[in-house]
Structure 1
Amino acid sequence: MALSKVSLALILSLFSASSLQAPTQSTVNACDALTQAIPGKLFNPRSSGYKEENDDYWNVGLSDLKPACILKPTTSQEVGKAFQVLGEYTDVNFSVKSGGHDPNPGHASSQGGILIALSKIKGTTYDKDTNLAQVKPGGQWKDVIGPLEQYGVTVGGGRLDTVGIGGYLAGGGLSFLSAQYGMAADSIVGWELVTANGSVINVNAKTHPDLAVALRGGGNQYGVTTKFSIEAHPIGKVWGGIRVYAGWAEQEVFAALHDFIANNHKDPKAAVILTSTKLVSDVETYIIFFFYDAPEAPKGAFGKFEDISSFLDLTQSDTYSELLAKNSVGADLLPTRASFRSITLPRIPSRPQFYQEIEAQWETLFKDYAESHPGSAVDIIFQPFPAVIAKNSASRGGNAMGLTENDKDRFILTITGQWTPADDDNTIWDLSKQLTDWIEQQIPHVTTPESEQYLPLFMNHAAFSQDVFGSYKDVEKFKVLQKEMDPTGFFAKRAGGFNI
């Protein structure tokens, strides 16, 4: 029977007691049409399937947003049917969710719109003859790394195994293997793509070179990928884990980071991520994730880091899957609200103090908040982005960020917040913006001709208010391509995520 009247009464009743924007009649009608077109896959707000999906976010604050209905397709064809239905309801907004790790409101979540969750489109296979992994977007990276390990191969993926798959690859993806093979998306050679009109097409990096580049770091502006074909890379036992350093080692730690970025090309099997937690607790510390693509790291692989004494050392030899699982311990220990904001910066050879200057401004901005909210954590993360990553990207055909073999060393600064009170959302977002605004003001005064001038944003860690596409040098070309793929603005105007 038709469900529109029943659906309207049911859905609106669930929103009436809250301050959340209720779904429009058109949205309710669209939910009804989806039920008819794809039976058994649509969930309303009172169903267990709805609650299960809407509670499954790294940023638990996104669960406060209530879509009118949630669709859980199991095939690319069902995603295509959903797009065809939504094409008839031009005023209905929607979002597409893969693993739920994007913390930005409205990207993989929806208030009063329709959420298409790809959690049932999951699975990983490997063909040793082609050396290609076929990876579906649902689930988390542990659903990819584990199945591939039996073949002695892996693909570039999340540095925590709880990171979602689809959004990570669509955003470009930094991995522990990036200095060897480029960004994670650079190894993608094929996409099963559902387009705005509901067609399912196969995009090949050889036959669709421009679209392939755009899809590597272009988010969901050209379509939704339901399967990635990814070149696999050999993997065996690896070495890594965390080391924790006292706050007094600040100068040595940042000097080592400055040195590591410049020399990472000499041993691209090495990778680090440096997190300053100086405002998180009474004990000022630096937490560094180390990675080396071999059972043991040779002397000198991590440069000056090897000369600094840590007070906690959890590094050891592990399988790749074991290492990523250990890296995830604590990341999801307590459910909190969460945020990202990032900025791409040049390594300035003559200014090794630049990292400390950024940290000092971060402390100035966030100190009062940290002292008055002891249960909250706002860290800054320094991620090396050496020139060798750009060189590898270019050699594989390039990506949307526009990296080239002539690029110079960079690093990515990510501000990540975790807190509990919903009332603090705007405070964290504003303070994070104040920090990146301050840094942008400093760049013209501190950069030198020998440092990199082109600084595209890293989509995976950008905040919803940042203009990621506007930072890409080929944005005008991408706008033309996006219009060709999406002439009605189905994705550009109606879908959650970064819009071109």
Structure 2
Amino acid sequence: MRFTALLTAMTAVATSVVSAAPATGAAAACSDLLASLPKSVLIQTSPTYTPAQNGGFNPLNNKLSPSCIVQPTSASDVATAMRAVFKHKANYAVRSGGHTGMGGWDSTDGGVLLDFSLMRDFSYSSSAGTVTVGPGLRWGEVYNMSEAYGVAPLGGRVYHVGTGLVLGGGLSLLSPQYGYACDGLVSADIVTVDGRIRTVNAQTDPQLLRAIKGGGGRFGVVTKYELRAFPTGRNSDKNWYGGSITVLTPTGIDQMVEYSEDFVATPDDPKATLLSNVGMLKQAGVPVYLGTTFAFYKGGAEDFNRVFGQFLAIPGAIVDVKPISYLEATQVTPLGWKPTQAYKWIGGSHYAGNNTTPLPLLPTIPVLNEPTPTKFLGIWRNVQALIVKHVDVLESAFFSITPVGTTQIDQGYAAGGNAIAPPQGRNFMHYLFSNILADGTTDFPADFEADRQQFIKDNPSDAGLPLFLNEVDATQEAFKSYGWYDQLKRQYKRFDPTGFSLRFQQGPTF
């Protein structure tokens, strides 16, 4: 009971404590690290400090100025760094790929930044049926190296995202068949907050392994991932079919949202993968509204046309689909922004179904269309309204729908469970509402931020469904939506009894 009270208090003040921690702690840690890891530590006068500082993919984090940046090349280096951080009670942050919409989650102002850009090992074990990857690799690199063996792990859908995606759950083109990306995690080497190196797997600590799968990095600094390798074929094997379907009319965009909801409501076909994005993208400063569905099927054209026929039949749709390899499928979804554009995300989770009570619209935001009885369209109406109100500062904004099928859910439990623990027996969807500002921006205007927070309050997820940590706003408290939330807290108490990471590292809270 005492720890629960302590955990609640630490969570309530986590951000302010991290910000207010004495700068002398980081300065002392950096001084120790310059002596113990002289070739791996960058200080603000180092020639390569600024490129490393700007190595993430969000100016909300790149504008922060760490006291020093540690670029480890081994788990031993990470352990040395964490011992110094722990000893001096220094603020710290960890950066893998750097694709986060949350300010402060992968950098730190005046703290110690662990930058994994140099830890890029890869190996494949045919006997274990796994690939082992370093935290500095991007998924596109992992897929390219795995293709030589005719396999692929569960990983990101965008080539440039880093391996840290696994810690937030992760969604893969293979997820409908095999689970969240984290469900492919067999073993992880982690460094504890006090600098101990541990290998965590189903034999050494199954509960801690489950906590890592969706635990957002709160359970140590991961220095190596061992991931199940699934048979996907070589690049010459065109055993998938799919690509993109794009629409440019308001009616077509609405149909794309409606058909995405129909897809979620249809009994699960684990060979089918869908990601629908509808929203606004500026071209030469002019807002252009469009929708693109990225659709794939593990099979041929006949099955693809059967499953995605509604999308293909949208009037005026621009269809670019063909037989492809799995590697080619992973290269279809674009990154969508530059590292010089500040961005934030809003996330939610919903079942398909009629919405007899329309979702409330934001005060002062005009209604673009009459509310519809369709749930996903109701959310899309609110998304449109927010885009229209703040179109002057937005460079792009998209409502993205990812179905989560019953097979994906069940595979997670069969693999030992994950921290997300969604309810079984019914398909649902995660949505991402991305808000990307113009090139060169580093902050969100106060009125836009206020409306974003109001949107979150007025558009709650369906009861009992988990949020997807990788695609939410920092204020949304994804952990509390998890089906394994109480057990997750217990594992955190066991693993970090003083709550060090909550006090000195920004990120998801309990």
Question: What range is the shorter-chain TM-score in?
Answer: 0.7 to 0.9
Deviation at 1:154, TM superposition (A): 0.2
Which amino acid letter does the alignment assign opposite residue 442 of structure 2?
A: A
Output the CA distance in 2 between the equivalents of 1:32 and 1:310: 62
2:102 maps to which residue?
104
Deviation at 1:425, TM superposition (A): 4.7
Output the CA distance in 1 between the equivalents of 2:187 and 2:267: 29
Q: CA RMSD in A?
A: 2.3
Deviation at 1:279, TM superposition (A): 7.2
Instruction: Specify whether residues 214 and 251 from structure 1 end up closer, same or farther in structure 2 by C-alpha distance, changes over 3 A only.
Output: same
TM-score normalised according to structure 2 size = 0.85
Deviation at 1:210, TM superposition (A): 1.1
1:35 paired with 2:53, answer no
Deviation at 1:21, TM superposition (A): 9.5
Q: 1:162 aligns with which of 154, 160, 163?
A: 160
Q: Is the 8 A contact 2:253 2:278 kept in 1?
A: no
Output the CA distance in 2 between the equivalents of 1:486 and 1:499: 13
1:365 maps to which residue?
386
1:449 maps to which residue?
none
2:5 maps to which residue?
none
1:187 maps to which residue?
184
1:392 paired with 2:411, answer yes
1:487 maps to which residue?
497
Question: Which segments of 5 or more consecutive residues in structure 2 lack a partner in the other structure?
Answer: 1-18, 357-372
Output the CA distance in 2 between the equivalents of 1:296 and 1:40: 54
1:272 maps to which residue?
274
Instruction: Specify whether residues 34 and 243 from structure 1 end up closer, same or farther in structure 2 by C-alpha distance, changes over 3 A only.
Output: same
- Any residues of structure 2 matched to 1:16-95 within 5 Å, and which? 24-90=23-89, 92-95=90-93
Output the CA distance in 2 between the equivalents of 1:411 and 1:339: 20
1:14 maps to which residue?
none
Deviation at 1:335, TM superposition (A): 3.1
Q: 1:232 aligns with which of 224, 229, 233?
A: 229
Deviation at 1:66, TM superposition (A): 0.8
1:410 maps to which residue?
428
SS in 2 for 1:46: coil
Output the CA distance in 2 between the equivalents of 1:75 and 1:200: 11
Name whichever of 483-492 and 107-116 sits farther off. 483-492
Q: Is the 8 A contact 1:188 1:231 kept in 2?
A: yes
SS in 2 for 1:315: strand
Question: Which segments of 5 or more consecutive residues in structure 1 lack a partner in the other structure?
Answer: 1-19, 444-451
Output the CA distance in 2 between the equivalents of 1:337 and 1:63: 10
1:247 maps to which residue?
250
2:290 maps to which residue?
285
Residues 122-165 of structure 1, C-alpha deviations (whole Å, 9 max, x = no match): 12211111111111111311121110001110011111101111
Output the CA distance in 1 between the equivalents of 2:376 and 2:492: 37
Instruction: Specify whether residues 51 and 182 from structure 1 end up closer, same or farther in structure 2 by C-alpha distance, changes over 3 A only.
Output: same
Instruction: Specify whether residues 315 and 58 from structure 1 end up closer, same or farther in structure 2 by C-alpha distance, changes over 3 A only.
Output: farther
Output the CA distance in 2 between the equivalents of 1:134 and 1:243: 34
Output the CA distance in 2 between the equivalents of 1:278 and 1:142: 26
2:259 maps to which residue?
256
1:473 paired with 2:470, answer no
SS in 2 for 1:397: coil
Instruction: Specify whether residues 176 and 349 from structure 1 end up closer, same or farther in structure 2 by C-alpha distance, changes over 3 A only.
Output: farther
1:315 paired with 2:321, answer yes
Which amino acid letter does the alignment assign opposite residue 273 of structure 1?
A: L
Q: 1:222 aligns with which of 212, 219, 222?
A: 219
Deviation at 1:264, TM superposition (A): 5.6
2:506 maps to which residue?
496
Q: Is the 8 A contact 2:56 2:95 kept in 1?
A: no
Instruction: Specify whether residues 94 and 279 from structure 1 end up closer, same or farther in structure 2 by C-alpha distance, changes over 3 A only.
Output: same
Output the CA distance in 1 between the equivalents of 2:287 and 2:27: 51
Instruction: Specify whether residues 48 and 288 from structure 1 end up closer, same or farther in structure 2 by C-alpha distance, changes over 3 A only.
Output: farther
Q: Is the 8 A contact 2:132 2:225 kept in 1?
A: yes
Deviation at 1:303, TM superposition (A): 4.6
Deviation at 1:460, TM superposition (A): 0.6
Residues 7-62 of structure 1, C-alpha deviations (whole Å, 9 max, x = no match): xxxxxxxxxxxxx9997233212111111122211001122322222112221332
Output the CA distance in 2 between the equivalents of 1:282 and 1:114: 40
Q: Is the 8 A contact 2:241 2:300 kept in 1?
A: yes
1:377 maps to which residue?
396
Name whichever of 456-465 and 347-356 sits farther off. 347-356
Deviation at 1:423, TM superposition (A): 4.6
Q: Is the 8 A contact 1:279 1:367 kept in 2?
A: no
SS in 2 for 1:66: coil
Residues 232-262 of structure 1, C-alpha deviations (whole Å, 9 max, x = no match): 1111333332221132224432332122113
Deviation at 1:433, TM superposition (A): 2.4
